[in-house]
């Protein structure tokens, strides 16, 4: 009797492989879920730490305020000293020595202004970069929101949570843009003021109110004598005192006023 022949088929691995590969495929995620995940991420400008702003922008603003305070202190010293000169007899040598102290303070402030300009420009550059990033994020968010509104108008369902999130985000970004723009403008004004400081420091730190008041009193007192030429006569007298004694206009006016108050001998 012939031997029975048994034919064995090789086990197919394809089905198993397909099953294994299929089991490794992640479940499908809807477009709406993907958009929700993307939009749920806070904008970079909001999520980013603000340490740099605290150390660069804040330092620039504080440095500028400190510099302006020093200018105001010089002006206060001028005001106090002018009042002293009006009430007391102070020698010309002492007047000039004290005024040289105020000038030294002015030069010190000018020296400090150079480094401050660098700080302000660094802060301005940082804010401009932040402004650009926020602006980009804002426009992208507006496009995304308008896209959702377009779908709604075409009767295509959209996630209302996503829409509300975009609306909130756009409001925040616009507020941030407004704040950055305001700070940038302030920094631009600060740079302009500090850059012009060497030319304008005397006008910014000189106290003129007392001298202006005394000048008007001198005009009234000598108006009858000089008539329409009273201003010309006073100006000439003031310039002569300034040149001969080497003192500023305000102090020359004070000395002329004091002389005019002295009793005639």
Alpha-carbon distance of 75 to 207, in angstroms, equals 6
Residue 122, judged by CB atoms within 10 A of its CB (0-12, 13-18, 19+), counts as middle
Contact 202, 246 (CB under 8 A): no
Mean pLDDT of all residues belonging to the chain = 83
Alpha-carbon distance of 215 to 253, in angstroms, equals 7
Residue 264, judged by CB atoms within 10 A of its CB (0-12, 13-18, 19+), counts as exposed
Average pLDDT over residues 149-166: 92
Q: Tell whether 36 is covered by a domain.
A: no
pLDDT of amino acid 3:
43
- Tell which of 174, 189, 207 closes a domain: 207
Residues 129 and 101 grouped into a single domain: yes
- H or E element, residue 184: helix 160-195
Q: Tell whether 2 is covered by a domain.
A: no
Q: Which of 203 and 54 is assigned the larger pLDDT?
A: 203
How many domains are there within the chain?
A: 2
Average pLDDT over residues 69-84: 97
Alpha-carbon distance of 4 to 214, in angstroms, equals 138
Residues 129 and 200 grouped into a single domain: yes
Residues 239 and 180 grouped into a single domain: no
pLDDT of amino acid 264:
59
Is the whole-model pTM more than 0.85?
Answer: no
Residue 177, judged by CB atoms within 10 A of its CB (0-12, 13-18, 19+), counts as middle
Residues 180 and 242 grouped into a single domain: no
Residues 188 and 249 grouped into a single domain: no
Residue pLDDT, tens place only, 94-113: 999 999 999 999 999 999 99
Q: Tell whether 31 is covered by a domain.
A: no
- Tell which of 158, 175, 207 closes a domain: 207
Residues 160 and 184 grouped into a single domain: yes
pLDDT of amino acid 229:
85
Which residue, among 152, 159, 177, 150, has the nearest Cα to 43 in the 3D structure?
Answer: 177
Percent with pLDDT over 90 in the chain: 69
Lowest mean pLDDT among 27-41, 153-167, 168-182, 198-212: 27-41
Q: Tell whether 35 is covered by a domain.
A: no
Contact 116, 195 (CB under 8 A): no
3-state DSSP assignment of residue 79:
helix
Residues 254 and 138 grouped into a single domain: no
Residues 111 and 194 grouped into a single domain: yes
The enclosing domain of 89 has a CATH number of: 1.20.1050
pLDDT of amino acid 164:
94
3-state secondary structure 57-120: HHHHHHHHHHHHHHHHHHHHHHHHHHHHHHHCCCCHHHHHHHHHHHHHHHHHHHHHHHHHHHHH
Residues 146 and 252 grouped into a single domain: no
Contact 70, 109 (CB under 8 A): yes
Q: Which of 43 and 219 is assigned the larger pLDDT?
A: 219
Residues 103 and 60 grouped into a single domain: yes
Alpha-carbon distance of 250 to 238, in angstroms, equals 9
Residues 199 and 214 grouped into a single domain: no
Domain range enclosing 238: 208-265
Q: Is the pLDDT of residue 159 over 80?
A: yes
Contact 85, 254 (CB under 8 A): yes
């Amino acid at each position: 009797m012939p031997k029975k022949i048994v034919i064995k088929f090789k086990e197919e691995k394809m089905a198993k492989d397909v099953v294994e590969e299929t089991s490794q495929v992640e479940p499908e995620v809807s477009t709406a879920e993907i958009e929700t995940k993307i939009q749920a991420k806070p904008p970079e400008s909001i999520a980013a730490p603000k340490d740099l702003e605290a150390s660069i922008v804040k330092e620039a603003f504080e440095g500028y305020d400190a510099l302006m305070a020093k200018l105001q202190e010089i002006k206060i010293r001028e005001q106090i000293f002018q009042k002293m000169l009006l009430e007391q007899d102070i020698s010309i040598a002492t007047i000039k020595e004290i005024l040289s102290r105020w000038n030294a303070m002015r030069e010190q402030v000018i020296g400090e202004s150079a480094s401050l300009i660098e700080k302000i420009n660094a802060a301005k550059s940082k804010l401009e970069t932040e402004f650009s990033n926020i602006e980009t994020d804002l426009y992208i968010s507006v496009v995304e929101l308008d896209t959702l509104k377009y779908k709604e108008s075409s009767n295509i369902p959209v996630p209302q949570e996503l829409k509300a999130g975009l609306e909130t985000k756009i409001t925040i970004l616009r507020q941030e843009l407004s704040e950055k723009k305001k700070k940038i403008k302030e920094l631009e004004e600060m740079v302009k003021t500090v850059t012009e400081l060497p030319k304008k420091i005397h006008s910014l730190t000189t106290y003129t109110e007392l001298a202006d008041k005394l000048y008007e009193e001198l005009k009234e007192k000598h108006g009858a004598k000089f008539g329409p030429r009273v201003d010309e006569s006073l100006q000439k007298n003031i310039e002569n005192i300034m040149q001969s004694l080497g003192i500023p206009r305000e102090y020359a006016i004070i000395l002329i006023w004091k002389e005019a108050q002295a009793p005639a001998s």
